[in-house]
């Protein structure tokens, strides 16, 4: 075996989803071994997730395990290899749905995260990257949001579970020396985006000549982050070794008003949006805005895809899918 370099091996929970499948693509291209753990939750069509990773079925460097992160005993049984990193992306997603099913979100997002941390402890996996969310800031008006501002004001069960995941990471980092990097993602978009998310629904409906749904007056602001920039931040975090615990914003460092987003899509599509207005929804925050100074400093993170370029790429992907 002398002279043969051992492949890095990572577990990616939620690896068949939007962000996860892009990460799988990139890591396999880089020569990593990848084990995908995904339960193909029916929050949206599991066939979409199967398609996301279909090209890797049969790849000797990629293994798919259909498992639920709530079942620690099963994880112990099916994950018998040696691993270098866990990238924990799996979660019950969505702010509004979490208000209707808070206990289920707690089971998956908090218990599931603790199970993965317990597994990391038992297997002596020293690097753990956790997908947190900008929703943890809630209605904090001190924008742009910085990690140094510890006044978190989550207003949905989903956001609460992400705060809990960050704190669980701190516990396991302190007690067991696991390096825990929590990445607070700000409105990630791009090809393979979940079909329930706003940009996807806007583009799909506008192309079909159907009305789009807008909650409130359209004045909400979001810090959008293109998928390619997010993947770079995760890969760098998988190698980060300077400190044992960090919480880091991953955003675009730029806000876009909802009405401006719709106008941009109208220009790209050459279609005038038909709008149906509804009252603002519980759990929605008026704005998100990331201070990415820490990400620049620790991860050399610099988002390179403008909102215009990102929307154009996404629209082309949607059109391609519709043709197929």
Distance in angstroms (rounded) separating the CA atoms of residues 170 and 181: 9
Q: How confident is the model at residue 284 (pLDDT cuts 50, 70, 90)?
A: confident
Q: Alpha-carbon distance 277 to 285, whole Å?
A: 17
Q: Is residue 92 part of a domain?
A: yes
Q: What is the per-residue DSSP string for 43-69?
A: TS-HHHHHHHHGGGTT-TTEEEEE--T
pLDDT-above-70 percentage for the chain: 98
Residue 3 pLDDT level (bands cut at 50, 70, 90): very low
pLDDT in tens, 196-241: 899 999 999 999 999 999 998 889 999 999 999 999 999 999 999 9
The answer to whether position 198 is within a domain reads: no
**3-class DSSP state of 93:** coil
CATH of the domain at 233: 3.40.50.720
> 239-278 pLDDT, tens per residue?
999 999 999 999 998 999 999 999 999 999 999 999 999 9
pLDDT in tens, 111-165: 999 999 999 999 999 999 999 999 999 998 888 999 998 878 999 999 999 999 9
CA distance 254 to 291: 9
For all residues of the chain together, what is the average pLDDT? 94
Q: Is the pLDDT of residue 88 over 70?
A: yes
* 158 is an active site residue: yes
Q: What angle do CA 153, 250, 232 make, to 5 degrees?
A: 155
Residue 281 belongs to some domain of the structure = no
Whether residue 258 is contained in a domain is answered as no
Supply the pLDDT for residue 232.
98
Given a cut of 60, whether residue 83 has pLDDT beyond it is yes
Let me know if residue 29 belongs to a domain. yes
Question: Which tokens belong to 197?
Answer: 């998310």
Instruction: Return the pLDDT at 59.
Output: 95
Instruction: Could you list the beta-strand ranges (E) of the chain.
Output: 9-13, 33-38, 62-66, 85-88, 127-133, 179-185, 188-189, 212-215, 221-222, 225-226, 245-250, 256-257, 275-278
Residues in a beta bridge with 277: 214
∠201-206-210 over CA atoms, to 5°?
90
Judge whether 199 lies within some domain. Answer: no
Place 321 in a pLDDT band, splitting at 50, 70 and 90.
Answer: confident
Nearest to 257 by CA among 214, 223, 300: 223
pTM: 0.94
**Does residue 260 lie within any of the structural domains?**
no
Confidence of residue 4 (pLDDT cuts 50, 70, 90): very low
Cα dist. 23→34, 40, 82, 266, 293 in Å? 10, 17, 20, 30, 24
Domain that holds residue 143: 9-187+225-251+291-304
62 token code pair: 């990629």
Catalytic annotation, pick one of 83, 158, 200, 226 = 158
Structural domains in the chain (count): 1
Tallying the residues shown for the chain, one arrives at 324
Residue 253, both tokens: 């460092």
150 is a domain residue: yes
SS3 state at 213: strand
């Amino acid at each position: 075996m002398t002279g043969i370099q051992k492949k890095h091996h990572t577990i990616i929970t939620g690896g068949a989803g939007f962000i996860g499948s892009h990460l799988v693509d990139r890591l396999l291209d880089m020569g990593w071994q990848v084990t995908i753990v995904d339960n193909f939750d029916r929050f949206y069509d599991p066939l979409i997730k199967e398609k996301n990773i279909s090209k890797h079925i049969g790849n000797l460097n990629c293994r798919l395990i259909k498992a639920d992160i709530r079942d620690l005993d099963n994880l112990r049984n099916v994950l018998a290899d040696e691993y270098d990193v866990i990238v924990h992306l799996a979660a019950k997603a969505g702010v509004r749905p979490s208000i209707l099913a808070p206990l289920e979100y707690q089971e998956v997002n908090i218990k599931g995260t603790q199970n993965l941390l317990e597994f990391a402890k038992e297997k002596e996996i020293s690097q753990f990257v956790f997908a947190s969310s900008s929703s943890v800031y809630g209605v904090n008006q001190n924008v742009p949001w910085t990690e140094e501002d510890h006044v978190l004001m989550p207003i949905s069960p989903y956001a609460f579970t992400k705060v809990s995941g960050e704190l669980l990471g701190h516990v396991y980092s302190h007690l067991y020396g696991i390096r825990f990097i929590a990445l607070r993602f700000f409105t990630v978009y791009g090809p393979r985006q979940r079909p329930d998310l706003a940009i996807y629904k806007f583009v799909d409906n506008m192309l079909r000549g159907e009305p789009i749904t807008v909650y409130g007056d359209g004045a909400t602001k979001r810090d959008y982050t293109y998928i390619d920039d997010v993947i770079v931040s995760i890969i760098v975090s998988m190698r980060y070794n300077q400190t044992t615990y960090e919480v880091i914003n991953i955003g675009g460092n730029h806000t876009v008003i909802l009405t401006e987003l719709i106008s941009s899509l109208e220009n790209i599509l050459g279609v005038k949006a038909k709008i149906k207005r509804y009252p603002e929804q519980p759990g929605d925050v008026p704005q998100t805005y990331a201070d990415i100074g820490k990400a620049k400093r620790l991860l050399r993170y610099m988002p390179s895809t403008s909102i215009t370029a990102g929307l154009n790429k996404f629209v082309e992907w949607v059109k391609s899918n519709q043709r197929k």
